[in-house]
Amino acid sequence: MHLGRALSAVVAMIALMGCGGGESGEDPDGDDTTAPVELDVVLDAELGVGAPTGPDYPPDTSGLVAEYTVTNNADVAVLVVERRPAQITPTVDVPLPDTEESSWVYSDEAGTVLVTKEIFPTSRRSGTDSNTGTAYRAPAVRLEPGESVTGRAFALTPLRRIAPDADVFDVPGPSTLPTQATSWSFCVQVAPDPGESGAPTMADHTPDRQLLCSAGTDLPPGALTGGSR
């Protein structure tokens, strides 16, 4: 795999970032009632181009790759999203295997392509809450204070916009990838561990979800070949 220079996103005492979905401090009526919980959590990410791991993709598959470490420097346990949840992954023109590298692909309002691991907030349309009452969840890893986890994210090129149903979830940015995009970034969602029983998951109702994003780097040539999707 060819990786570019190391790109570190050091996020200390982080509040909710604007590059992705979080529901910190919002009540069901949309009123801000509490300030976001501040977390000392650090994302170090190295962005580049490479192949997915494992046998789930065809030979010679390549795409954007982020190899990253998340470190919990807070004094509370945190959850870190491990992968894109398979149950809400859309159907596109290529297979989207469910692996630990599975990621969303969309763009922010500034035109930067984001490769992310997160659970999006559910939508409210025209002032009406369209949440069906279903709890949507993404597999996650629990980090105790002082612990770290490493991970890898992959996005197949040419890039497709991979995002859940817009009638159910609020996904930031435009509904297609911008054809003139020149840069990309990796983001992963974290939150204080609410102490639910069972295997760790990040739910659409988990309080104080926050998105850690790396610094951006250039898209490789041909990453958007075939047009915006």
pLDDT in tens, 113-151: 999 999 999 986 534 444 556 689 999 999 999 999 999
What confidence category does residue 226 fall into, taking pLDDT thresholds of 50, 70 and 90? low
Q: What is the pLDDT of residue 29?
A: 47
What pLDDT was estimated at residue 59?
Answer: 85
Domain ranges, residue 18: 2-216
Q: Residues 191-217: what's their mean pLDDT?
A: 96
Question: Residue 229 domain-assigned?
Answer: no
pLDDT score at 5: 39
83 belongs to a structural domain: yes
Total domains, the chain: 1
Of all residues in the chain, what percent carry a pLDDT higher than 90? 71
Alpha-carbon distance of 112 to 217, in angstroms, equals 10
In a domain, 67, yes or no: yes
Q: Cα torsion at 191, 161, 112, 36 (round to 10°)?
A: -20
Asked if residue 32 is part of any domain, the answer here is yes
Residue 225: inside a domain, yes or no?
A: no
Q: Is residue 142 part of a domain?
A: yes
Residue 78 forms part of a structural domain? yes
- Provide the sign of the torsion angle of the four alpha carbons 173, 210, 44, 53, taken in this order: negative
pTM: 0.84
Q: Give a yes or no: residue 228 inside a domain.
A: no
Q: Which of 22-26, 179-183, 217-221 has the lowest mean pLDDT?
A: 22-26
The predicted structure's pLDDT at residue 124: 64
Q: What is the pLDDT of residue 209?
A: 97
- Whether the pLDDT of residue 28 is over 70: the answer is no
Q: What does the pLDDT look like over 57-75, one tens digit per residue?
A: 888 899 999 999 999 999 9
